[in-house]
């Protein structure tokens, strides 16, 4: 606004202000009517809502953008929101995604005031971590187990979540707590964790999903393959209305050798990044046709809605026109079992190649295979590849150890140190 504008504003009469208010009200009324008509059109569509639901955060303006929303189009409209003076995109979703995908990574932040300590006027960092551990155990089935030696992700302190299934960071960063749940953590978490996390985030202070990876597995490769993904890229099916994204090939594409190939689409520094890769061959099975489609969303120029926890297939199907086919039901347990089997087969091949001759000699000297195993086998620790991620196998959480010493959960940080629970 210039000095001339201020001068003109100072000369406005009460009638001028009333007229300005009437113009503003007419504009708002027109917008409301347009939104009502658009909502009615969506309600009549046979495929259900093609646009994502309104965000649960208030005070932000929204506008539909992107491609067409008709059933015959591969493009799905997205939404833009104005947040903190910046325009951000909310990922679109398809109504027919069903249970066609699962979460393979999730990061979220909440304000530390989410974790209140009963009866305490001042809440110490130690108390926040203990309360956070208890809350996370209710959601995932496991909590925080141990403090790491250093901070991470620009936080002063970091902690292990479950049996190395993720990480919790605290200290600094505007008094927030960062929770990172890896792919193994998503598999290990108790059934229904997505719904529990969704409901809890809606009650937390300043909640925000900063990353989520959505995945779909084709175990036979009959529906989708890395070669088809490559052709889809050439056909423009990874273009969502803008310019073509970056594309990178990893592995031996000229002469496939069974070690697995990967197609990367996009730039990981941006808010959306796609990977299509031969999962089974990556795990060591040269003959496996298991293909994984994975899209990583980050809160870079994007606002990730909480509904992604409940409808991952819908958001994955809408992430690129190439994935409009996604509709098969996914079973996380089957994926875990196939991963363990692939690792087991790989270890057997390694033993035969590297140690087979030596084992045969030892068996002959000892007199039998059983005697050889008795001599060489170790039973103190199971190999990592044999462990199936399961919340019931997690180590004891920090808050559970504290409760053994102080059931009332009201002691301050000095008392915590007396019990040897100095967490900072």
Q: Is residue 209 part of a domain?
A: yes
For the cut 50, the answer to whether the pLDDT of residue 46 exceeds it is no
Asked if residue 91 lies in contact with residue 78, where contact means CB atoms within 8 angstroms, the answer is yes
- How much is the average pLDDT of 41-70? 37
* Stronger pLDDT, 138 or 420, i.e. the higher one: 138
Q: How far is CA 62 from CA 215, 227, 305, 319, in A?
A: 28, 38, 13, 19
How long a stretch of residues is the chain?
424
Residues 248 and 312 in one domain: yes
Using one digit for the tens of pLDDT, what is the confidence trace for 266-298? 998 888 899 999 988 888 888 889 899 999 999
Residues 112 and 201 in one domain: yes
Asked if residue 128 lies in contact with residue 241, where contact means CB atoms within 8 angstroms, the answer is no
Confidence of residue 349 (pLDDT cuts 50, 70, 90): confident
d(CA 48, CA 422): 53
Residues 189 and 325 in one domain: yes
Q: Please list, residue by residue across 56-70, b when 16 or more beta carbons sit within 10 angstroms of its beta carbon and e when fewer do.
A: eeeeeebeeebeebe
d(CA 312, CA 305): 11
Confidence of residue 204 (pLDDT cuts 50, 70, 90): very high
Please state the domain count of the chain. 3
- How much is the average pLDDT of 402-420? 49
Residues 122 and 253 in one domain: yes
For the cut 70, the answer to whether the pLDDT of residue 74 exceeds it is no
Residues 135 and 123 in one domain: yes
Confidence of residue 339 (pLDDT cuts 50, 70, 90): low
Residues 139 and 169 in one domain: yes
Question: End of a domain among 302, 330, 358?
Answer: 330
Q: Report CA dihedral (313, 319, 324, 328) to the nearest 10 degrees.
A: -20
Q: How far is CA 272 from CA 39, 53, 140, 307, in A?
A: 28, 20, 26, 17
Residues 68 and 147 in one domain: no
pTM: 0.64
Supply 128's token pair.
Answer: 């926040």
Supply 317's token pair.
Answer: 């199907």
Question: Where is average pLDDT lowest: 73-77, 156-160, 375-379?
Answer: 73-77
Paired residues of 64 in beta bridges: 79
Residues 201 and 229 in one domain: yes
Q: Is residue 67 part of a domain?
A: yes
Q: How far is CA 334 from CA 106, 119, 184, 217, 338, in A?
A: 20, 46, 14, 10, 6
- How much is the average pLDDT of 376-394? 66
Residues 231 and 256 in one domain: yes
* Stronger pLDDT, 210 or 377, i.e. the higher one: 210
The domain in which residue 29 lies consists of 17-90
- How much is the average pLDDT of 153-160? 96
Question: End of a domain among 297, 330, 363?
Answer: 330
Q: Is residue 403 part of a domain?
A: no
For the cut 60, the answer to whether the pLDDT of residue 330 exceeds it is no
Share of the chain above pLDDT 90, in %: 35
Confidence of residue 373 (pLDDT cuts 50, 70, 90): confident
For the cut 50, the answer to whether the pLDDT of residue 239 exceeds it is yes
Residues 130 and 278 in one domain: yes
Q: Is residue 408 part of a domain?
A: no
């Amino acid at each position: 606004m210039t000095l001339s504008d201020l001068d003109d504003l100072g000369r406005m009469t009460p009638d001028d202000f009333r007229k300005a208010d009437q113009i503003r009200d007419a504009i708002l009324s027109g917008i409301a009517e347009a939104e009502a008509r658009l909502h009615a059109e969506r309600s009549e569509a046979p495929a259900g809502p093609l646009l994502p639901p309104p965000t649960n955060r208030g005070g932000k303006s929204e506008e539909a953008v992107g491609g067409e929303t008709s059933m015959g189009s591969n493009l799905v409209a997205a939404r833009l929101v104005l947040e903190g003076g910046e325009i951000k995109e909310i990922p679109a979703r398809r109504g027919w995604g069903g249970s066609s995908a699962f979460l393979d990574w999730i990061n979220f932040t909440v304000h530390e005031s989410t974790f209140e300590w009963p009866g305490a006027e001042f809440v110490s960092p130690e108390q926040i971590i203990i309360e956070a551990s208890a809350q996370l155990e209710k959601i995932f089935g496991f909590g925080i187990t141990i403090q790491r030696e250093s901070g991470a992700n620009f936080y002063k302190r970091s902690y292990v979540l479950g049996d190395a299934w993720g990480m919790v960071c605290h200290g600094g960063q505007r008094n927030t707590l960062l929770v990172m749940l890896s792919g193994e953590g998503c598999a290990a978490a108790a059934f229904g964790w997505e719904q529990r996390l969704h409901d809890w985030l809606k009650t937390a202070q300043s909640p925000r999903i900063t990353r989520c990876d959505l995945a779909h597995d084709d175990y036979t490769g009959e529906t989708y393959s890395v070669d088809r993904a490559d052709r889809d890229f050439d056909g423009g099916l990874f273009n969502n209305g803008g310019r073509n994204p970056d594309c990178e090939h990893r592995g031996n594409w000229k002469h496939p050798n069974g070690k697995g190939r990967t197609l990367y689409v996009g730039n990981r520094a941006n808010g959306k990044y796609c990977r299509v890769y031969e999962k089974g061959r990556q795990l060591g099975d040269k003959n496996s046709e298991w293909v994984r489609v994975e899209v990583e969303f980050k809160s870079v120029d994007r606002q990730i809605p909480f509904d992604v926890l409940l409808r991952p297939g819908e958001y994955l199907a809408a992430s690129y026109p190439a994935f409009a086919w996604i509709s098969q039901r996914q079973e996380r347990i089957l994926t875990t079992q196939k991963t363990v089997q692939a690792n087991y087969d790989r270890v057997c091949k390694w033993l035969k190649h590297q140690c087979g001759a030596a084992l045969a000699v030892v068996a002959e000297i000892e007199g039998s295979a059983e005697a050889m195993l008795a001599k060489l086998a170790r039973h103190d620790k199971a190999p990592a590849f044999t462990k199936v991620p399961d919340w019931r196998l997690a180590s004891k959480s920090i808050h559970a150890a504290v409760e053994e010493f102080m059931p009332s959960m009201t002691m301050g940080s000095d008392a915590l140190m007396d019990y040897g629970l100095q967490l900072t």
